[in-house]
Each structure stands twice: as structure tokens, then as C-alpha cells.
Amino acid sequence: MSALSDALGRLHQIVGEEHLLTDTAAVGRHVVDGQTPAAVVFPGTGEEVAALLRAAAEMKLSVLLSGAGHHLYLGAPAAPIGLVVSLTRLNRIVEYDAGDLTITAQAGMSLAALSQAVAEQGQALPLDPPGPATATLGGIVAGNLSGPMRVRYGTARDLVLGMRVALTTGEVVRTGGRTVKNVAGYDLSKLFVGSLGTLGAILELTLRLVPAPEQRAVMLTAMPRQGAMEVASRVASSPWEITACEVLNPTAVARLRPYLPPPGRPDACAVCVGLGGSREAVRRQQQEISSLVGHGAVCFEGGDADRVWERVRGIAYPTDANGVLLRASVLPSAIGDVLALVSSHAGWSALVHAGDGIVYASPDRETDITAIKKAVGLVRQTCEEAGGFAVLEAAPVELKREVGVWGRGLVNSDVMKQLKLAYDPAGMLGCGRLV
């Protein structure tokens, strides 16, 4: 019997025949960066995950951890994949303390399912990452994904109170706690947030919730770029309880045309402000923002506001693995320069988080690959000279290899490598996507 047959037999013993995929057509649906895994497994418990990681380490099988698979484009091109471990069967709520605004759920639960469950108690998990609502909690946290609401609520890193994690040794460890006021010792949960599944498999997450706003609204207005950045800066730094503040460049504005009044000039940008709170607070803030931007602002409320935000969030994000997405991060004072640079390249959409210095940029399908390389290089150089960075979050594998994903290198890469050696000495997790 071959080594692969021996390995598959051992995996079969852990998860059962119905939860192990090996045929070509089935595993072909789990290809990442052109790499086809030898097998895909669907464990049903944390203990099964731990047993799989231990077995894979002993058999020297590389492992790629997966949820819904929507964000596996993140990171460097994947190395050969021995085994995909999908956590989608770990999809239930473990404990929900509505009085303490905390919930513990398994990593394979979708954000949409959790949001629906807590909405019944008038609560919400304030995460709005890019991609479909079917993205899993584990995938969102492993990528530290966030969206426009981060200006008010922070990222996944700020909302995680604790977790259970399976290690390559077969151990299951618990980090953090299940209460908001947990302050004992070092917060090891933060090591796994944003690690892209390269240190261990996140099994459960304890998350901080917030009261759901009584009223939701989005205000939109169009104006020249300089004016748009000034308005967005004033709104983002104001005492108003905004939930988001975005600026879209002219190419992105064209995709919002059904929602905007005629901009008056082709180089107009859009300012999108999200509001949430009591009806009276939202009404007052609408009046204050209207007085700031003058005539021409339009407002959407309730379900209409949700639909507008869904469209805004999706403007700069890729819809498949062949899309290109560049995430630039600089001080808020420098985002105007980055926005101007991105907008100077034909066909490039830009979505700016005005409150935290992040710009998502992506070219349209017709953009020449040579032009894309040039634009990525210029934006990256501008960001690095300003003390920031630009990460190529999504791109065809060839482009990732040619221009690099991380730029001049990861911040604290030496520390990351030491952590990787400590938690995964055999280097079998993540298939080279991070370090």
C-alpha cells in the first residue's frame, strides 16, 4: 500500500468515509492558486480537527484550513496542498449571554447565521467584511477582515474576547475568556487573529456584541475630490456617532449612479456616511451632515440603507480568484495622495475608509497587465515613503509572484517566523500563505 493510501486510511478513521473527499471532481472544487489538494476532510468536532492536525504533522502532509473558502485568495501564492480541512460542519452557537453582550460560536458558523440569531435579541455583531455574507466566523477572524464599520467598532481583532484553537500537536487550547472584563494574563487570542490559519485551527470564538441600532441610514453626496476628502475628514473626526465614512473615486462612483443625483462633472467623487442609533440621534445627524455638505445629499434608511452599503462595500472587492485587489494603508493625512494616484490610472476603482487611512483599489477587467504592474508599484512606493504599506490581497498567481504580495516585507516578520516555529515547527499549516 502506498504512503498516500496509508494517509487516506488514517484520515478515514478520524472523520468517516462520508466526510472525506478524494475523487478528482470533488477535490477540484477546492483548488487554491492552482494547487489541487490530495484530499478534503470535513471534521465535525474540535477533537476531530485536533486529531487531523496531529496525523497530518506525523505524516508530513501540508494543511490548508478553510471555511466557506471565500477569502482564500488572501496571502502569498499557496505551496502544494496535501490536505484541505474544512470547518463548515462546526457551525453552531455554543453559548449566548445576551445580558453580557457576548456570544460563543463555532468557527464554521456563517456571519449571516450568527447575525440573524442575535438580531432576535436586538443585538448585532458589528463586522461587515468584504465578500458574501456566507463567510464563516473563523475565516473572517483568521483574515482579520473588516469593512466600513471599522471606523466605529474596530476590526475582528477588537471584537474577539477568546477562542478555542487546535494545534498541530493534537492539543486543544483556550485563549482569552468569555467575558468582556477578562484581563488575566496575555491575550493570546490576538496571535491567531490575522494569522491566515498558519498557527492553528480556530474552533470556537467568543465575540463581543453591540445593541442593534434603532435606525440605520446612509447619506450620499458627490463633489470634486479635494472637497470630498475635506468633508470626509471632518465627518470622520466629528463627535457624531457615524458607523462608516467612505470616499469613492469617479470610476467607483459610476457604479453607484442609480443612487446618486447627477454629479455635475465627470471627476466627482462620492462621500458615503453611515449612521446608526436612536431615531432622534440619526435625524439630528442627518441635519448636521446636510448643513456641512450643502445641497445635493440624498439619504436612504432601513432596508434601502442596507442595500446601498452592500453595493458600496462590493465596489472595489474582487468577485473571483482572478480579480486584483490592492489594499493600501497610510496615515489618514496621506490618503488623499493615494486616492489621487489610484484615480490617475484609467479603469481603477478606489474605496477609501476615511477614518483609518485604508484605500482599497482594483482595476477593471480590461486593464492591461503591464499597466496593473506599474500602478501597483507606484502606489506601493507612495505608501512606503509615507510610512505605510500596500498589500496585494488578490491577484492571479503569476502577478502575485511577479510583484510580490507584501511589498518590502511584513512588519515584524522575524517575530512572526519565531511564532510560526513555536506553534508549527514542521511548517505544515497554511501552505506558505503568510511566512
pLDDT value at residue 184:
54
Supply the DSSP string of 21-86, one letter for each residue: E-SHHHHHTT-BTTBPPSEEE--SSHHHHHHHHHHHHHTT--EEEESSSTTTTSSSPP---SEEEE
Topology given in CATH for the domain delimited by 215-314: Alpha-Beta Plaits (3.30.70)
Residue among 272, 388, 394, 384 at smallest CA distance from 326 = 394
Supply the DSSP string of 155-194, one letter for each residue: -HHHHEEEEEEE-TTS-EEEEE-SSTT--SS--THHHHTT
CATH 3.40.190 assigned to 325-413 = no
pLDDT value at residue 318:
65
Mean pLDDT, the chain cut into blocks of 10 residues (435 residues total): 73 92 89 92 96 94 91 87 96 96 97 95 91 84 89 91 95 81 67 93 97 93 91 88 92 82 74 92 91 82 87 73 88 92 94 90 90 95 92 91 83 82 91 81
CATH architecture for the domain at 93-211 = 2-Layer Sandwich (3.30)
Q: Where are the domains of the chain?
A: 3-88, 93-211, 215-314, 325-413
Residue among 85, 49, 64, 13 at smallest CA distance from 173 = 49
Distance CA 246, CA 420 (A): 36
pLDDT value at residue 363:
93
pLDDT value at residue 176:
83
What is the dotted CATH code of the domain comprising 3-88?
Answer: 3.30.43.10
- E strand or H helix that includes residue 282: helix 279-293
Total-model pTM:
0.91
All three cell numbers of 180: 468582556
CA dihedral 273, 276, 279, 281 (to 10 degrees): -70
pLDDT value at residue 1:
41
Amino acid at 95: E
| 325-413 and 215-314 share a CATH fold | yes
